[in-house]
Structure 1
C-alpha cells in the first residue's frame, strides 16, 4: 500500500484542508508530523465545516486513526479545547481514534508569555510575525533538552526536578526583561489541570505506525504551513520554528523514510503569505486586492489578511526539489477566472545577475526583482470543473506551463472549496 506525505509548497495557506480531507477518506491512518496549533485548515464534510489547528484531519472521519507525532509541539489546553469543540459538532474523539506520541514536547503558558514578550519588544523591522502561541519557545526548549514532554504527565513524580531545570533558564530571561518570574507551583498546577485528559491518548507512536504499516494500512502524513517557512530551507529568519519539508514526516513520526511512497505538494495557482518577510511577487495594488478578495485570503486560525501576488514558479520549483515532490495539487485556479492576463515569475534579477532560485541571504532576498512571463487569461469559468474538458483552453495552457516551470506534474486540480470539484490525474494512494 502507498503511504503519502502532504506538504505545502509555498508559504502555507495553499488549501491543504480540502486535499488532505479528500486523501484522508482513502487513508487508514492520518499523522500530523510537525508544527503546533498556530496553523490550521477548514474541512467541509456533508455541508458541515470543521476548523482544525492541531488535530489531524482524519479525526473527523469514523474508522480512521489520527496520530499526533513527536515532531509536533503540543499545547495540552488547546488540544482539549479542540476536542471539546468537535464534541459539540457531534465528533467524539477518543483514545481509540487519537494517539499522541509520548515523546512530543509540551507548550506551556510560559512559552506563550515569552513568545509575546519577545515579539512585542522587537523593533518594527525586526518582527517575525509570530502568532504568539508559544511555538518557537517550546521548540527551543526541546532542542535545549529541557522540555516537558507528554510522557512526563504520566511520570508525575519526576516533574518537579524537570520544572526546576526549565525555570533556571526561563526565569533568568524573564528577570532580564524586568518581568515577574514563574514559580514551579504555577507550572505544576497548569499541568495538573490537563494530565487526566491527555495521558489516555499517550502512546509509543513509532511502534504503532510500524505495526500499522506492516499490516498494509495506508498512512497519510499531514504537515502544517509550507516549505518556504521551513526553519532550514525557508526565508529565514521569517520562518516557523520547525522543519516543514517532506523529510520531516519521517523524523516527526518515527517511521523510516523508506516507508514514504509519494510526496504531494499543495500549490496555490497564485502566491500568498501571512506575516513578515520577503515576497518577490507581492502585489499591493489592484491585482493583489483582487486575489485577496476573490480568494477570501484570511487565516483559518488567526484571521489575519494574507499578502497576495502572482504565481512564483522559481520558488515552487525550489520546494519541489527540497521536498522531493512527486506531483502537485494545484488549488484555487478559479480565483484567476476573468483576468485578461496572468503573470508568472520564472526567475529573478539580483544586482544585474539572473537567478533561477531564491538566495538564502535575507538582504539579497529584499533586493530581488521578479522576472515575469505574461500569459493570456480566460473569459470562461473554471469554478466547479471536474474534468479537463470543462476548462477553458487558456486555463489548461496555464496549468501546463506551470508544470513545465516547476518541473513536476499536476496530480490533482482543485476548482472550488467543495471536495467534489476536483480533477484527479493521479491518485497518490494508487498502488
Structure 2
C-alpha cells in the first residue's frame, strides 16, 4: 500500500533497531536500503542483547519478510556470523530473509585498502570502521563491483580475481599494513557457501508488486543523516545516502510511494569517530552522559562523544528528509541532569543563525543554549506520556514546538517494551 521510512537524524546510534522491531508487526516487509556492516542496530528483549549489522531489524518477528536491498554492501563473513547467531534463537532466517541480486559484495581486499588508506591519513583520518565500506562503494560507482547475483552466474571466480588484482595494484600506493590476505580470502569463500542459500531476488519487482497487492513496507536506514555522503559533515561521513532519497535508489521504489518518514533523535547528541560536533561536551556532563547512556559503539566498541541536543542540526535533518513523525530515544538518560541544556542557535562571525553551515569544521561556531529544568526521577517504568514528570513532558513538547513535528514515540529505556506512544502511530 505504501512505504514508510525509519532513519536517524543525528550521527547514527539513535536507536533505530529497537524502533524498527517495535513497529515491525505493522508491516509485511522490513527492508535495509543502504549501508553495510559498519552499522550496528541493537535490540534488547527477553533479557538478551542482539546486534544486527546487515540483517534488517524485523527478523525476530514471525511472518515478516526481511530484504537486504540493492543499496546495501555485504560482507559474507559478517553476514554468515549474524545468520548463525539469529538462528540460535530459533528464528528461521533462511525463510524470512532475502537479498537483492544488485547488492554489492565487500571483498577482503576492500578491507585491506580501507585499512591502508586510513593509516595513510595519519592525524587526518576520518574514523573509518575499517569494514571496507568506502572502497566497495567506490568500485560500485566505478562500475567494477561484484554483486550478490553474480554469485549464481558463470565466471564468478574470474570476476573476483580480476577485481582483487586491481585492488592489489592500488595497494602498492600505500605503506604495508598487517593483513592476512590468504586467511581472509579463505574465510570469505567459506562464508559464501554458508549464505548462498539465502534467496537472491530482484527486489525492485518484489517490492513494487507487493505495493500493488496492498502490502506495507518499512524501509530501515543505517547510520544517520549527518553521515550522508551528500549532506552530512563531509568528509567525515559514510559512503552512501543515509537520507530519505536513499530509499528510492536503494530499494527501487518511486518517491510517490513514500508515506511516513519517521525520524529518530536521541534526547541528546552522540558521535563516534572524527568530525565536527558543535554541542560536544568535554566536561563531567559529557562523561556522565556516556556512562549513563552506555555510549559505546555497537559495531566498533569505541566510546561515543556526547553533547546536548542541537536544534539547528536537528531541524536541518528534518528538512532534508521530509520528516513527518519524530521518535525521541533515551529520554531516561537525562533523568539525572538538573538542569540540562539544549542548543538553540549558532553564532558564526558574530551573527546569530539557525542554519547549518555547509562545512561545520571550517567554521568557528559558538552555540547558544537554553537551560531546561530536570525531573530527578526514574522514568524507565512509565507506560503513558501523561505519567511522565512535567519537566520531561515539557522537554518533549519543546522539541515538537521547535521542529514543527509531533513525536509519535518516546523511548524511556533499552528494552523492547520501554516505548511510550504519544501520538497515533503509523497505520497498520
Q: TM-score range by the shorter chain?
A: over 0.9
Distance in 2, Cα, partners of 1:34 & 1:385: 34
Distance in 2, Cα, partners of 1:306 & 1:162: 36
After the TM superposition, which of the residue ranges 190-199 and 420-429 deviates more from structure 2? 190-199
1:186 offset after TM fit, Å?
9.7
Please name the residue that 2:340 is paired with: 342
Please name the residue that 2:417 is paired with: 420
Residue by residue, what CA displacement relative to the aligned partner does 1:139-162 show, whole Å, maximum 9, x if unpaired?
A: 010011000111111113255256
Change beyond 3 A, Cα 1:153–1:185 = farther
Mapping of 1:5-404 within 5 angstroms? 5-94=5-94, 96-124=95-123, 126-157=124-155, 159-161=157-159, 163-164=161-162, 166-167=163-164, 169-177=166-174, 179=176, 192-200=189-197, 201-365=199-363, 367-404=364-401
Please name the residue that 2:406 is paired with: 409
Residue by residue, what CA displacement relative to the aligned partner does 1:88-142 show, whole Å, maximum 9, x if unpaired?
A: 2322311x31110101111000011111111122121x11001101011100100
1:45 offset after TM fit, Å?
3.1
* Contact 1:115–1:133 under 8 Å retained in 2: yes
Counterpart of 1:42 in 2: which secondary structure? strand
Unaligned runs of 5+ in 1: none
Distance in 2, Cα, partners of 1:83 & 1:426: 35
Give the TM-score, by structure 1 length. 0.93
Counterpart of 1:413 in 2: which secondary structure? strand
Residue by residue, what CA displacement relative to the aligned partner does 1:382-420 show, whole Å, maximum 9, x if unpaired?
A: 222221221111111111111122221111111111232
Distance in 1, Cα, partners of 2:418 & 2:78: 32
Change beyond 3 A, Cα 1:187–1:295 = closer
1:362 offset after TM fit, Å?
4.6
Residue by residue, what CA displacement relative to the aligned partner does 1:226-284 show, whole Å, maximum 9, x if unpaired?
A: 10000111000001111101121111011212211100001100011000000110001
Change beyond 3 A, Cα 1:123–1:189 = closer
User: What is the total number of aligned residue pairs between the two structures?
Assistant: 425
Counterpart of 2:394 in 1: which secondary structure? helix
Distance in 2, Cα, partners of 1:144 & 1:120: 23
Distance in 2, Cα, partners of 1:255 & 1:189: 37
Distance in 1, Cα, partners of 2:184 & 2:142: 18
After the TM superposition, which of the residue ranges 184-193 and 56-65 deviates more from structure 2? 184-193
Counterpart of 2:51 in 1: which secondary structure? strand
Give the TM-score, by structure 2 length. 0.94
Counterpart of 2:26 in 1: which secondary structure? coil
Unaligned runs of 5+ in 2: none
Distance in 2, Cα, partners of 1:81 & 1:317: 38
Residue by residue, what CA displacement relative to the aligned partner does 1:177-217 show, whole Å, maximum 9, x if unpaired?
A: 2549x9x9999867643444433321111111112222222
Residue by residue, what CA displacement relative to the aligned partner does 1:38-82 show, whole Å, maximum 9, x if unpaired?
A: 111221233333221110011122211000000001111211111
Change beyond 3 A, Cα 1:59–1:357 = same
Counterpart of 2:251 in 1: which secondary structure? coil
After the TM superposition, which of the residue ranges 40-49 and 303-312 deviates more from structure 2? 40-49
After the TM superposition, which of the residue ranges 231-240 and 344-353 deviates more from structure 2? 344-353
Distance in 1, Cα, partners of 2:407 & 2:233: 25
Distance in 1, Cα, partners of 2:78 & 2:376: 45
